[in-house]
Structure 1
């Protein structure tokens, strides 16, 4: 390995028009990678986070909540294409309820909060090159959405995949687009700076940011959290939830033994020999929701002091250059997670929120729940849990891809309000008015089968 690989990568990024700030950030992590950094956080180096303020105990006046929201910008991470569900466009364009997409409901939540509080509350999307055009087109029916002087989106960066053999940029003539990858959502911070959006927000009097994934409809504007964060004086805060046995994959916050700093440890940062600690919900009782808050002025000061390099922990992601071809060359993707910024800011804190703030959709199992009557859709665009959440397990061979899922539920999803579990094995299609009661299991029959209209399953 030598400086040649870095020089080639830098040149490739320059030719592609990547912003100089992003190139500097990439170069920072390239040098770490070359030096053998793994980004691993051993259990012996941390202590569990046990004492966390509870949102349920927070009392904020309506006036203070509205004032804090008026200084807050809502940022949604919207660069993902939903490829794990067979999509080739932004996941936020997927219909959720009553023909409304994630995007529609996010807009509805923000507009309702504006109307209720009088807050300006701008909405910003961090798009990728592949999600920007479709997203902006979908927002055109909302002419009242933009806040004067601010855009509706900004672009995250891109970087070259590196051959694992020598850390030179990968070449893949069959599909040159596969030579590039996003730098992870930790790119949020330098992209805010490089796009000019961070300065624009400060110039227009905004001080706080509330950030979450666009597929998490639970993370709507919240005046109580905004008021709590503003009053805390903290530079940064993460929302966490109490873990259960079903939350063993999610990252968690911990306290670094060496200096008492709050940090985030994710799966990719955990040594194999420590995974039993990582997955133990009793050892680490809170998981990180990827909903976070930060002080825009503090972020701007730190980024300028560090020339745009926030210094988030490296995540070394090893894949193949063509994810669908395991025989294609092995590559390294240099990534960072936005939640790891918790360790950059002394005085960073966390708040424990209820499950209603965490409704991510990573698979069609979760999508089925959101479309079902387990949740009611409010006029403010929020999904309100109306029944106990059943365990859902759809056969991935027939339901994983969104096209297959839609075809099998073309007449609507079953009622799950009375169900405790809903498991489907095999190729089943569902008629209209189907109701699931108690524990429901549909076994594979060996041939495509159909649940007739009005059928009551289980019970």
Structure 2
């Protein structure tokens, strides 16, 4: 018999129709919480890692094309973009020329299918909040579905637990807030529980490329597919060099105890190790969340573990209503899909260019993506044409929410191709044809306007 809290949580999940595999996975982590597991990875337990670069790898063109023909694509698409004030799938956000993330992803895949004569199924892992909007938007792409495979499968949900006693929280004011997603590590649980893993194997697919829908750099590139197939690895992650903007994020390391590769997230780093986490010379690589998985190896690992991969626990403490700090503290039990790198013996890392990691987490990122820093060609792949990526810091009081951001760029993003940085404090509206050159800072105590065709230049232009 389980504890009272676990029994209540289990009953709540059963009543909500949550998949049995997901319930047992949740129970596994609940027991870890009960025993005081924090999921922390101390600096003393890990060493830095090095890895090969894709630039130095030779991949035969036919081998690359063959690998793509045996690959399926999964996009994680459960996010609403709530941090930017959105209440629908974040991937529906307009990026360029009237095209959303979803439009560009669909067209990238359709182009690759034609180029390589590949089936290349595209499947979205949606949440119950993003499913309807996403499927409606994809309806315009009649050639996208692959016979015998769905266009989507749903991520699971689990109850938030009261921090004080681990009982599932009750919040009658908004019952939806009693639930949370289990982190993107749920992709493996959902693949098994929905039967999609078996379907893919039955149709002859060997590999799956998994990435985030808000990263348009995450194209199922044939060269990377060929490298992964040739490596014989059961699991691989694309990594990039960390930059100052990644100081607070996770990184790869090697565990001293058994030599396995690990992915240490910020939430798994003890406070006393914060300085080591931010040390870009010591821990040089972070994850793109672009994953390559051997489907047969994944099935075997799940079968051996009765469906529970045993990814490291992430104990995330929040308020039951994230927007109201007066509401009770809850624990959200999460896992990271990249953490599966430690599950598979022989996992690999490969360093890729920053062009494969273009995540949009804030409107700062969105401004760069909408600007002329990138071109989008006939293959719908982002091509960085600026010499460097500009650093953007927009005043959160006026630009954090997409609707407010859009009001201040009514004629589109300024030219950022020659920009090093843009820092905006105060309320500025930008006219058509504005160019940013070098390092630019704008300050205002009242609403101001940048006139059309203005060239804003800073010290780097001097």
Give the unaligned 5+ runs of structure 2.
Answer: none
Name the SS of the counterpart of 1:185 in structure 2: coil
Q: Distance in 2 between matches of 1:24 and 1:245?
A: 40
* Pairing of 1:47-126 with structure 2 (within 5 A): 47-50=47-50, 52-126=51-125
RMSD: 1.0
* Pairing of 1:308-457 with structure 2 (within 5 A): 308-387=307-386, 388-444=388-444, 446-457=445-456
Q: Distance in 2 between matches of 1:70 and 1:134?
A: 29
Deviation of the 1:412 alpha carbon: 1.4
* Pairing of 1:146-225 with structure 2 (within 5 A): 146-225=145-224
Name the SS of the counterpart of 1:392 in structure 2: strand
Q: Distance in 1 between matches of 2:34 and 2:74?
A: 33
Name the SS of the counterpart of 1:119 in structure 2: coil
* Pairing of 1:228-377 with structure 2 (within 5 A): 228-377=227-376
Q: How does the TM-score come out when normalised to structure 2?
A: 0.97
Instruction: Check conservation: 1:250, 1:288, Cα contact below 8 A.
Output: no
Q: Distance in 2 between matches of 1:389 and 1:304?
A: 44
- Larger displacement relative to structure 2 (20-29 or 280-289): 280-289
Name the SS of the counterpart of 2:141 in structure 1: coil
Residues 1:23 and 2:23 aligned together: yes
Q: Distance in 2 between matches of 1:423 and 1:154?
A: 40
Provide the residue aligned with 1:46 in structure 2: 46
Q: Distance in 1 between matches of 2:412 and 2:242?
A: 32
Instruction: Check conservation: 1:73, 1:208, Cα contact below 8 A.
Output: yes
Deviation of the 1:61 alpha carbon: 1.5
Provide the residue aligned with 2:133 in structure 1: 134
Deviations 1:35-90 (A, max 9, x none): 0000000111111112x111001111111111100111111110011011111111
Name the SS of the counterpart of 1:23 in structure 2: helix
Deviation of the 1:249 alpha carbon: 2.1
Q: Distance in 1 between matches of 2:244 and 2:423?
A: 19
Deviations 1:107-138 (A, max 9, x none): 11111111111111111111000001100000
Name the SS of the counterpart of 1:246 in structure 2: helix
Q: Distance in 2 between matches of 1:390 and 1:179?
A: 40
Shift >4 Å, 4+ stretches = none
Q: Distance in 2 between matches of 1:140 and 1:235?
A: 34
Deviations 1:317-369 (A, max 9, x none): 00010111101011000000000000111111110001111000000011000
Q: Distance in 1 between matches of 2:249 and 2:289?
A: 10
Q: Distance in 2 between matches of 1:288 and 1:279?
A: 15
Deviations 1:357-385 (A, max 9, x none): 10000000110001111111111111111
Q: Distance in 2 between matches of 1:377 and 1:137?
A: 24
Q: Distance in 2 between matches of 1:255 and 1:300?
A: 25
Give the unaligned 5+ runs of structure 1.
Answer: none
Deviations 1:129-174 (A, max 9, x none): 0001100000000010011110011000000000011100100010
Name the SS of the counterpart of 2:185 in structure 1: helix
Deviations 1:193-243 (A, max 9, x none): 001110000000001011111000001011111111111111100111112
Q: How does the TM-score come out when normalised to structure 1?
A: 0.98
Q: Distance in 2 between matches of 1:326 and 1:158?
A: 23
Instruction: Check conservation: 1:58, 1:224, Cα contact below 8 A.
Output: no
